[in-house]
Amino acid sequence: MEDEPIMDVAHLGHVEILTPKPDESLRFFVDVLGMTESGRQGDSVFLRGWDDYERYSLKLTASHTSGLGHAAFRARSQQALERRVAALKASGAAVGWHAGELGHGPAFQFHDPDGHLLELYYETEWYQAPPDLRPALKNQAQRFPARGVNVRRIDHFNCLAVDIRANREFFERVLGFRLTEQIVLDSGVEAGMWLTCTNKSYDFAYTREAHGVGGRFHHVTFALDSREEILRAADIFLENGVHIETGPHKHAVQQTFFLSVYEPGGNRVEVANAGARLVLAPDWKPIRWTEAERKKGQAWGLQTIESFHNHGTPPLTEAQRGHKA
Amino acid sequence: MEDEPIMDVAHLGHVEILTPKPDESLRFFVDVLGMTESGRQGDSVFLRGWDDYERYSLKLTASHTSGLGHAAFRARSQQALERRVAALKASGAAVGWHAGELGHGPAFQFHDPDGHLLELYYETEWYQAPPDLRPALKNQAQRFPARGVNVRRIDHFNCLAVDIRANREFFERVLGFRLTEQIVLDSGVEAGMWLTCTNKSYDFAYTREAHGVGGRFHHVTFALDSREEILRAADIFLENGVHIETGPHKHAVQQTFFLSVYEPGGNRVEVANAGARLVLAPDWKPIRWTEAERKKGQAWGLQTIESFHNHGTPPLTEAQRGHKA
Amino acid sequence: MEDEPIMDVAHLGHVEILTPKPDESLRFFVDVLGMTESGRQGDSVFLRGWDDYERYSLKLTASHTSGLGHAAFRARSQQALERRVAALKASGAAVGWHAGELGHGPAFQFHDPDGHLLELYYETEWYQAPPDLRPALKNQAQRFPARGVNVRRIDHFNCLAVDIRANREFFERVLGFRLTEQIVLDSGVEAGMWLTCTNKSYDFAYTREAHGVGGRFHHVTFALDSREEILRAADIFLENGVHIETGPHKHAVQQTFFLSVYEPGGNRVEVANAGARLVLAPDWKPIRWTEAERKKGQAWGLQTIESFHNHGTPPLTEAQRGHKA
Amino acid sequence: MEDEPIMDVAHLGHVEILTPKPDESLRFFVDVLGMTESGRQGDSVFLRGWDDYERYSLKLTASHTSGLGHAAFRARSQQALERRVAALKASGAAVGWHAGELGHGPAFQFHDPDGHLLELYYETEWYQAPPDLRPALKNQAQRFPARGVNVRRIDHFNCLAVDIRANREFFERVLGFRLTEQIVLDSGVEAGMWLTCTNKSYDFAYTREAHGVGGRFHHVTFALDSREEILRAADIFLENGVHIETGPHKHAVQQTFFLSVYEPGGNRVEVANAGARLVLAPDWKPIRWTEAERKKGQAWGLQTIESFHNHGTPPLTEAQRGHKA
């Protein structure tokens, strides 16, 4: 009889991204993406989609550069949090407890093998909409804004990592994430991984960093309700002078219908929709994509744009750019 | 510190419905709904949506009447199955082990307090598409049929029950389902419950049986990828002479975009879409709808059709119809 | 050989509606419908959808009551205008030339047999977007607003009329409109007419006034690009406390996907989409709907709501309400 | 006072395409595109979308090669036909009357300056659906097939031409088509033209033939009701092994949402949707796209695929391929 799955992480809570252009970035997230500001603290503004149940799903922090501040997962219970903290401590990845971030209780911070900062918390603040943002239907966190792209909730994030396999094993063994899809090169080297702790087919993905630089960020993705809304989002990005990198199109991997843009601070932001697709099987057999299959491009034949492999944040220095794995 | 949630049931597996018109019902599910036949056994035909990962999600059984044969949930693991069997035996609801149904291993059968037959199993047969039904993308169970309504997968089912509260407590306590929304009358009597074991906002619902008759069935629902596909489904039902009971419209409860029809055997079948809505909070606070709120009708004001409260299968006898709770 | 069709009217230009609540009505059209203000004159504010090519498509005029101010059609050429003016003068319907309305040249005003004020003009002012409203694509009149419902352009209007047949014959014979669909009661009395001068299946409709009162208004309709946007519009109306009268649903007549609301001044406003449906046949054979067919309700079975037959603007007086045709 | 517009051509009627693989091409149009066979004559099969009002919109003819057989427009009236025949005779483009093609009356054939064969007719056969294809709603030509891509109606076609300007002037002057958009190179040479005789923003387009070979064909396009259906069409093409050349994406020119594939005979076929966009202005000012603007690619930044400029039918011979304009 196999070991039972670890079910201690409930879902992705929020992502902190750094921006060297905080005002323009804020206008992008509020006016173009349609997010709502729900708090400020220090150099950070906290933002939310209209159906995120927690106070926020994005922490936008002014910085000298771009990239990921941290990503945070919510544990399923206080006991579940404590079990994972014990496992993290045993793994050598632990940074330690961090208190005082707006909107949630004590968080245990740790580094993945690539050096990204992550945290796990349980106690959280449920969003309470002020009167002018109260929804008409009580099973919705906040009024639909009808402004810009109207992103609904955070969906997933994507980091770059030098050693995908090491990161995969860390998240599977220490935190109980399940691998749903991966890319494995002909050499056997893993080049991409999609992991979940929910019935979404992934809560985050790591793809391969080609320049040997740890800790870089690829994108954060917000969910919209339909592919039609993502097409309309493309119109809205165009009208607002936002750089559209690629899409709308359908990824072969995970079949996500995606649209990728760069926010003013340089970070890639994606809006996406996966229809009614869920991974319900508790023993899902990971899909392994080969090099030959990935060369076919996206689902309907769009070739993967070069910058999708190369653009990460923070940007590489000249010296780093010279290094090629 | 609160008790930790029971996480032993993974998802709804399949529903068996009875039909007094097996040939017409089969044509409805295959030609109009776009399902695929994946097996026969005795008086039953097994059917699947193009993205159900198990061999089937619907068992259609010839019978003298209509209604629910049984509904089946898949456990998260063998150990999880055994834990729930122990709990079911302790609860007094147990019927016993049942082996030999196509497509899955031993199932433990039990009755809910209203008398519906349910079962729990772990071992299952993953669907293997024959060559002509192989999908172009390997992360999909079966080729998209491009026939009729093209339902993707089973989504949920809905039963009638005389005592909603007793049924809710049974599913919560014995099986670990979580209540996400409910209707509570001014008298305090519970009139509807929506329960989940996944990140879908419900895997099944029970609404109140007004005639004191146990074990009746309200509907089974299949998921489509977009609201646009549900609108098109309405066109297809119209063209095929299928009785459209109500919709397309958006339920206030759960915000499901729905369309309800009667299949030839008399059972209500629904196609639905919930956009990107998921219940991710492990400690979701159930939404309680009052009588006054429900009188407002559906989300955009459509009055709930009378037959939605009264039509269940099997149909009531004359004597039963006289009895009114 | 048949007479050749009159092709002198090019399209519906604008509709003037009266409102006793000008400030609230203006906020509705700008903030909720997503229209843009493009001029003011006297008691009127001029408004436009983002793809109306003329300066405006809606004139909103403060008044002691609600209803239609006038509706205006653009002629195909100066000569076409003069031909129709001659025909109008000959018909006895002429009111006379009217100059000085914002945004277009001299207009010839006339009354239809039911007493509605209409006008025909040729010279017009093409909309010139100010810098902040310039579109990214030069084949679009104005930047997509990404605010509220985002109506694209005026589509059609609908009046009530006591004698449908007399009005139909007037528009066909004097102005060259073509009948595409109609409702004819078992008694032979005409109860509804849909007329076009374009490839749209109708540019306006008249339905029967049951109270013998002339000149009343039923609704003005703005086009959206997809049914998905109309569903989203329903959410937005709900969030903004706008009264949804009926829909979203699909009319059997013309197969329009519609959603009807009341603006704060009491006038009915519709948003609608007809997909790729066009009437391309120059000799289209009008569709005649019978009483029995109309009793089936809308396309997918929704019963036509009572207020759809009774609510018009301006509202009836007590005395008028007593009168029933 | 300007000359009045010629309004004698009503709409595109049908396109004949040649295929060296008639059986495979037929299966593509029937099983994948969802068209209905409505006649056979000689080496040709006649096909229709579910809302084409005439008997057919596509004539598929077995041949030794691929390409355009002919394209046919319907005149607005018998008199209109006779006026255009007189103008064609005067222009030197006339081929002569052709009778006996299935489904319509006498057609006057002519060549455009590039050598494509075209025809104009008035009398036509309205499609009469057999009992099993009768629609539920009487304002629809045929039952919605719910098979494959379900194309609704023919929308437009696109030819290649060596001298765009000569062709534009021919269609404008002799037949009264109106130019809505065009591409003009920095050299002043015209590289593309979009012409209409309806309120659709184009009924056909000609783009530049780079190899100096006359009479070649670029694509025929069928309309779908929504962008969502075009995305789904991409899935269906993928599942059926149909070569997807480019899209789904939005053209900058005309803002058409398009998806281009090759049918088995080698001809490019497009499915497209333009939302509620219509050209209603009788004096529309043509949009002129510059070389620099076209280098930006499609609306949302997709680079125009090389084959879109080079692939036409019939394919070039080796000798022709060497020649480059």
D239 CB within 8 Å of a chain A CB: no
Chain centroid to CA B10: 15
Of the pLDDT bands very low, low, confident and very high (cuts 50, 70, 90), residue C324 is low
Please judge whether B250 and C234 are an interchain contact, meaning their C-beta atoms are less than 8 angstroms apart: yes
Residue that the structure tokens 């996206």 belong to: A298
B166 CB within 8 Å of a chain C CB: no
Query: Tell me: the pLDDT tens digits for B191-207?
Result: 999 999 999 999 999 99
The answer on pLDDT for B123 being more than 60 is yes
Contacts of B78 in chain A (CB under 8 A): 1-2
Token readout for A144 is: 């639909």
Predicted local distance difference test score (pLDDT) of residue B3? 80
Nearest beta carbon to residue A239 from set C135, C232, C238: C135
Token readout for B130 is: 């024959």
Q: How far is C165 from chain D (nearest CA, A)?
A: 21
- Chain B, residues 6-65, CB within 8 A of chain A, namely 7, 10-11, 51, 53
Please judge whether C4 and D224 are an interchain contact, meaning their C-beta atoms are less than 8 angstroms apart: no
- Residue D215 region by backbone torsions, left for phi larger than 0, else alpha for psi between -120 and 50, else beta: left
Token readout for D19 is: 């295929």
Collapsing DSSP to helix, strand or coil, C176 comes out as coil
Token readout for B123 is: 């071992």
Q: Which of C90, C91, C129, C96 is nearest to C110 (CA)?
A: C96
The answer on pLDDT for A323 being more than 70 is no
Q: How far is A314 from chain C (nearest CA, A)?
A: 30
Token readout for D295 is: 């280098």
Predicted local distance difference test score (pLDDT) of residue C309? 87
Phi, psi torsion values for A27, nearest 5 degrees: -65, -40
Could you tell me the sign of the dihedral formed by the alpha carbons of A86, A91, A92, A94, in that order? Answer: negative
CA distance B280 to B283: 9
Contacts of D228 in chain B (CB under 8 A): 226, 228-229
Q: What percent of chain A has pLDDT over 70?
A: 98
Query: Tell me: the pLDDT tens digits for C36-59?
Result: 999 999 999 999 999 999 999 999
DSSP letters for C51-102: T-SBS-SEEEEE-SS-EEEEEEEEESSHHHHHHHHHHHHHHT-EEEEE---T
Q: Which of D278, D285, D298 to mutate against chain C (most C CBs within 10 Å)?
A: D278
Predicted local distance difference test score (pLDDT) of residue D305? 87
Which residue from A minimizes the CA distance to D260?
A: A300
Which chains are within 8 Å of A by 3+ CB pairs?
Answer: B, C, D
Query: Tell me: the pLDDT tens digits for C64-82?
Result: 999 999 999 999 999 999 9
D272 CB within 8 Å of a chain C CB: no
Of the pLDDT bands very low, low, confident and very high (cuts 50, 70, 90), residue B15 is very high
CA distance C193 to C174: 16
Query: Tell me: the pLDDT tens digits for A303-317?
Result: 888 898 889 999 999
Please judge whether B144 and D226 are an interchain contact, meaning their C-beta atoms are less than 8 angstroms apart: no
SS3 assignment for chain D: CCCCCCCCEEEEEEEEEEECCHHHHHHHHHHHCCCEEEEEECCEEEEECCCCCECCCEEEEECCCCEEEEEEEEECCHHHHHHHHHHHHHHCCEEEEECCCCCECCEEEEECCCCCEEEEECCECECCCCHHHCCCCCCCCCCCCCECCCCCEEEEEEEEECCHHHHHHHHHHHHCCEEEEEEECCCCCEEEEEEECCCCCCCEEEEECCCCCCCCEEEEEEECCCHHHHHHHHHHHHHCCCEEEEEEEECCHHHCEEEEEECCCCCEEEEEECCCCCCCCCCCCCEEECHHHHHCCCCCCCCCCHHHHHCCECCCCHHHHHCCC
Query: Tell me: the pLDDT tens digits for A106-154?
Result: 999 999 999 999 999 999 999 999 999 999 999 999 999 999 999 999 9
Contacts of A148 in chain C (CB under 8 A): 146
Q: Which of B136, B104, B127 is nearest to B36 (CA)?
A: B127
Predicted local distance difference test score (pLDDT) of residue D324? 54
C299 CB within 8 Å of a chain B CB: yes
Nearest beta carbon to residue B227 from set C228, C245, C302: C228
Pairing assessment for the beta strands C9-19 and C58-62 based on DSSP bridges: parallel
Which chains are within 8 Å of D by 3+ CB pairs?
Answer: A, B, C
Please judge whether A227 and D226 are an interchain contact, meaning their C-beta atoms are less than 8 angstroms apart: no
Predicted local distance difference test score (pLDDT) of residue A321? 83
Predicted local distance difference test score (pLDDT) of residue A81? 98
Predicted local distance difference test score (pLDDT) of residue B323? 60
Query: Tell me: the pLDDT tens digits for D257-297?
Result: 999 999 999 999 999 998 899 999 999 999 999 999 999 98
| pLDDT per residue of chain D (325 residues) written in tens, 0 to 9 | 568 899 999 999 999 999 999 999 999 999 999 999 999 999 999 999 999 999 999 999 999 999 999 999 999 999 999 999 999 999 999 999 999 899 999 999 999 999 999 999 999 999 999 999 999 999 999 999 999 999 999 999 999 999 999 999 999 999 999 999 999 999 999 999 999 999 999 999 999 999 999 999 999 999 999 999 999 999 999 999 999 999 999 999 999 999 999 999 999 999 999 889 999 999 999 999 999 999 998 999 998 888 988 899 999 998 888 765 4
Token readout for B316 is: 């009531």
Please judge whether D229 and B228 are an interchain contact, meaning their C-beta atoms are less than 8 angstroms apart: yes
Please judge whether B239 and D143 are an interchain contact, meaning their C-beta atoms are less than 8 angstroms apart: yes
Predicted local distance difference test score (pLDDT) of residue B304? 87
Of the pLDDT bands very low, low, confident and very high (cuts 50, 70, 90), residue B190 is very high
Write the CA distances from B54 to A179, B150, B201, B225, integer angstroms: 19, 17, 21, 19
Predicted local distance difference test score (pLDDT) of residue C222? 98
Pairing assessment for the beta strands B243-250 and B217-223 based on DSSP bridges: unpaired
Of the pLDDT bands very low, low, confident and very high (cuts 50, 70, 90), residue B324 is low
Nearest beta carbon to residue B244 from set C237, C245, C300: C300
Predicted local distance difference test score (pLDDT) of residue A1? 58
Of the pLDDT bands very low, low, confident and very high (cuts 50, 70, 90), residue C1 is low
Contacts of D250 in chain A (CB under 8 A): 231, 234-235
Token readout for A21 is: 């252009």
Q: How far is B33 from chain D (nearest CA, A)?
A: 10
Average pLDDT over residues B254-274: 97
Q: Which of C48, C156, C278 to mutate against chain D (most D CBs within 10 Å)?
A: C278
The answer on pLDDT for A324 being more than 80 is no
Contact of B154 with B49, CB cutoff 8 Å: yes
CA distance B157 to B166: 18
Phi, psi torsion values for D74, nearest 5 degrees: -95, 135
CA distance C311 to C321: 11
D250 CB within 8 Å of a chain A CB: yes
The answer on pLDDT for C125 being more than 80 is yes
Which chains are within 8 Å of C by 3+ CB pairs?
Answer: A, B, D
CA distance C6 to C88: 14
The answer on pLDDT for B131 being more than 90 is yes
Q: pTM for the complete prediction?
A: 0.97
Please judge whether A226 and B226 are an interchain contact, meaning their C-beta atoms are less than 8 angstroms apart: yes
Which residue from C minimizes the CA distance to B233?
A: C300
Please judge whether A236 and C147 are an interchain contact, meaning their C-beta atoms are less than 8 angstroms apart: no
The answer on pLDDT for C16 being more than 80 is yes
Q: Which of A2, A194, A199, A251 to mutate against chain B (most B CBs within 10 Å)?
A: A199
Of the pLDDT bands very low, low, confident and very high (cuts 50, 70, 90), residue C3 is confident
Contacts of A36 in chain C (CB under 8 A): none
Residue type, B165: R
Write the CA distances from D73 to D80, D168, D181, D221, integer angstroms: 12, 16, 20, 15
Q: Which of A152, A86, A312 is nearest to A218 (CA)?
A: A312
Q: Classify residue B280 by its DSSP letter.
A: -
Which residue from A minimizes the CA distance to C147?
A: A147
Q: Which of C202, C224, C280 to mutate against chain D (most D CBs within 10 Å)?
A: C280
Q: Which of C255, C256, C298, C300 to mutate against chain B (most B CBs within 10 Å)?
A: C300
Query: Tell me: the pLDDT tens digits for A149-162?
Result: 999 999 999 999 99
C281 CB within 8 Å of a chain D CB: yes
Token readout for B37 is: 């036949």
The answer on pLDDT for B91 being more than 80 is yes
Environment class of D324 (CB within 10 Å of its CB; exposed 0-12, middle 13-18, buried 19+): exposed
Query: Tell me: the pLDDT tens digits for A26-48?
Result: 999 999 999 999 999 999 999 99
The answer on pLDDT for B325 being more than 70 is no
Average pLDDT over residues B32-43: 98
Q: What percent of chain C has pLDDT over 70?
A: 98
- Chain D, residues 205-224, CB within 8 A of chain C, namely 223-224
Predicted local distance difference test score (pLDDT) of residue D82? 98
Look at B323 and B284; give whichever has higher pLDDT: B284
The answer on pLDDT for A195 being more than 70 is yes
Query: Tell me: the pLDDT tens digits for C299-317?
Result: 999 988 889 888 999 999 9
Average pLDDT over residues B14-41: 98
CA distance D194 to D209: 15
The answer on pLDDT for C133 being more than 60 is yes
CA distance A225 to C204: 34
